[in-house]
């Protein structure tokens, strides 16, 4: 978060399950290591912000005072010296500011490979762009990013090549439908589009008390409305089955 002055990032492995998106990416340039892992797709969580220069010095000094471990104190003092050399790179930001910045501009992640003696062998910097987040990941505040070179192909696949307007875009609905092809699959089946029956929506309306989530001054707020008209689409999510399949 502070212009690359951290020595390392906390991370853990995650499962990219078998899905239509995974199949598409494999066929369109996804780089894998021994066919079991990839650095082309990462999931980022925004759990904290970044400290200013003075806050970082104060934080490390406090850790030194609390520690009785000589080796740990030495490492902390070395960190302080490194911080002093990079004073101009420490910028205080909230986790919300960092999230917005990464969503708009993407993020660079540097991968460093060292030998057993700690000698640098290779450095690789990958630029990632925000691709999608599932409703489950949205609750945790995490989001899936993809290597810049794969972004256009992956985004076009998720949106089926539709041109998304920059104004009055149904963001909530779009964000809910985009991750559908990332769901785990066990098999595939081809269906002739001519065999798909499309029914017109039938809507019903009723009044009830609701908590409406709205935006005000670019902030998300919850507003209670006593007599709100709710629309219910009766056949939404339903399907028809051919009569012969049903039991007697």
How sure is the predictor about 2, in pLDDT bands with cuts at 50, 70 and 90? low
Signed CA dihedral, 79, 84, 90, 94: sign only: positive
The 10 Å CB-count burial string (b at 16+, else e) for 85-101 is eeeeebeebeeeebbee
Helix (H) or strand (E) holding 42: strand 41-45
Per-residue model confidence as pLDDT tens digits over 188-209: 989 898 888 787 888 899 999 9
**What separation, in Å, do the N-terminal and C-terminal C-alpha atoms of the chain show?**
64
- Domain ranges in the chain? 20-182, 193-245
Distances (CA, A) of 205 to 123, 209, 219: 59, 13, 29
pTM above 0.85, yes or no: no
Angle between helix 70-85 and helix 53-66 axes, rounded to 10 deg: 170
**pLDDT bucket at 76, cuts 50 / 70 / 90:** confident
pLDDT grade for 151, boundaries at 50, 70 and 90: very high
């Amino acid at each position: 978060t502070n212009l690359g002055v951290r020595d390392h990032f906390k991370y853990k492995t995650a499962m990219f399950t078998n899905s239509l998106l995974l199949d598409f990416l494999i066929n369109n340039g996804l780089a894998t290591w021994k066919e079991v892992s990839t650095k082309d797709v990462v999931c980022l969580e925004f759990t904290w912000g970044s400290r200013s220069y003075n806050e970082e010095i104060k934080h490390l000094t406090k850790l030194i005072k609390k520690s009785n471990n000589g080796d740990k104190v030495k490492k902390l003092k070395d960190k302080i010296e490194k911080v002093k050399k990079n004073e101009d790179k420490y910028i205080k930001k909230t986790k919300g500011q960092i999230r917005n910045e990464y969503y708009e501009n993407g993020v660079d992640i540097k991968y460093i490979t060292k030998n057993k003696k700690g000698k640098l062998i290779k450095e690789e910097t990958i630029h990632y762009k925000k691709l999608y987040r599932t409703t489950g990941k949205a609750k945790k505040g995490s989001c899936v990013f993809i290597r810049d070179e794969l972004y256009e192909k992956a985004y076009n696949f998720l949106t089926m090549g539709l041109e998304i307007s920059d104004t009055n875009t149904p963001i909530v609905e779009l964000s809910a439908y985009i991750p559908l092809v990332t769901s785990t699959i066990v098999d595939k089946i081809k269906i002739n589009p001519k065999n798909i029956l499309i029914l017109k929506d039938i809507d019903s309306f009723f009044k009830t008390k609701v908590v409406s989530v709205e935006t005000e001054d670019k902030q998300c707020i919850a507003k209670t409305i006593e007599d709100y008209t709710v629309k219910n689409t009766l056949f939404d999510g339903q399907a028809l089955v051919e009569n012969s399949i049903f039991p007697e």
